Amino acid sequence: MRRLVPLFILVLLLPTPAAPAEQRLLPRGTKVETFKSDLKFPIDMAWVPGTKKIFFTEKNSGKVRVLVGRRLLARACVDLAVASAGEQGALGITLHPRFKKTRYLYVMYTNASPEEMRVTRFKVRNNRCRRPKTILQGVPASSGYHNGGQLEFAGGKLFISTGENHSPDEAQDTASRLGKILRLNANGSVPSGNPFGNAVWSYGHRNPFGLAHQPGTERLFETENGPSCDDELNRIRKGRNYGWGGGYGCGTAGVGTDPKGPMKRWTPPVVPTDLWWYRGRMKKLSGSLYMGEFSSGRLHRFFLNDRGSRIRDDRVIFDAASGIVDVSKGPGGWLYFMTASAIHRIVPN
């Protein structure tokens, strides 16, 4: 969406703080510390569980970088040829659920020529991304905006978010891959259980910036950027229409057949980014869904009901010094979040 780009530029022009400025909303006995600073627009990270290794995408360079502890390796895992205007670039990254066996790493990015969204699988050896296999390609990205770009494994399937490339009507067309959550097998083939006989899992999306699932379940959650209203948090379900399309009205369930409203909406917009369902070492934070805002740098904690269908409480637990682009679990089992210049984490005092 267009309002995100000036915010990106603003963040890049701001001085990099030593650490986020506000800590009073965190649970007692915890603090935020800067894990790694002086980074060049990281967007998404993937931690290898049980190790100190993090892979992350750099939006504008097209590189997949490697952190071992706090040491940033000089050589990238891979250097992709990306278009990086607006919201384009090296965007989503995820690891195969059995990464330690398969060594498969997946990246979603805007390919430079032809200019399109792609998902490519790599085999990682010695911190190098080798044997590329493109499992999704040809998704239009010429507008530079509304590209989506998130990847998430749930139930052994790979879910992919795509924006509608500034073509609202495409979001309602179940034969189009624009404005969708797609579902593929790990090798890129289409699973037999998909509702429309193609890669589409859900439709009616505008610009999904976040995907996360609840560990041990196939419950999938998505954040979506609205126009001048209605940024959203959604529970994603098979075949569901989430209402974006030509003629959308603010505050409504949306357009098309049987549209479904979100779990939560924000007006005015807050620019929600990537999500993470955290279950980990920090017991005071475990068992909740987390989301960052790019507009203000606020970190949300959502408490859901047992079925994961309703928000019981939404608490802002931290105000960062700049916009948050990703939330994840990382080395040590702590909760991490990324800004446009650094990676931070929440640890005990």
pLDDT of residue 24: 53
**Average pLDDT over every residue of 45-61:** 98
pLDDT score of 329 more than 90: yes
* pLDDT tens-digit series, residues 207-264: 999 999 999 999 999 999 999 999 999 999 999 999 999 999 999 999 999 999 999 9
pLDDT score of 8 more than 70: no
Question: Which value, to the nearest 10 degrees, does the dihedral of the CA atoms of residues 233, 22, 7, 53 take?
Answer: -80
Q: Which sign does the torsion angle of CA 120, 280, 212, 145 carry?
A: negative
pLDDT of residue 25: 86
d(CA 274, CA 213): 12
pLDDT of residue 70: 98
Average pLDDT, the chain: 94
**Average pLDDT over every residue of 51-58:** 98
* pLDDT tens-digit series, residues 86-131: 999 999 999 999 999 999 999 999 999 999 999 999 999 999 999 9
**Average pLDDT over every residue of 297-306:** 97
Query: Measuring CA to CA, which residue among 29, 59, 30 is closest to residue 345?
Result: 30
The Cβ-side half-sphere exposure at 162, using a 13 Å CA radius, reads 33
Classify residue 236 by its DSSP letter: E
- Among 2-11, 199-208, 336-345, which stretch is predicted with the lowest mean pLDDT? 2-11
CATH of the domain at 144: 2.120.10.30
pLDDT of residue 125: 98
d(CA 70, CA 195): 44
Q: Which residue has the tokens 């479904």?
A: 260
Backbone Cα Rg of the chain: 18
CB-based contact 227:189 (threshold 8 Å): no
**Average pLDDT over every residue of 140-158:** 97
CB-based contact 158:191 (threshold 8 Å): no
> Which structure tokens are listed for 29?
């006995």
Rounded to 5°, the CA angle 255-260-264 comes to 115
Look up the domain containing 30 and give its range: 4-348
Burial of 99 per CB tally in 10 Å (0-12, 13-18, 19+): middle
How many domains is the chain partitioned into structurally? 1
d(CA 220, CA 342): 27
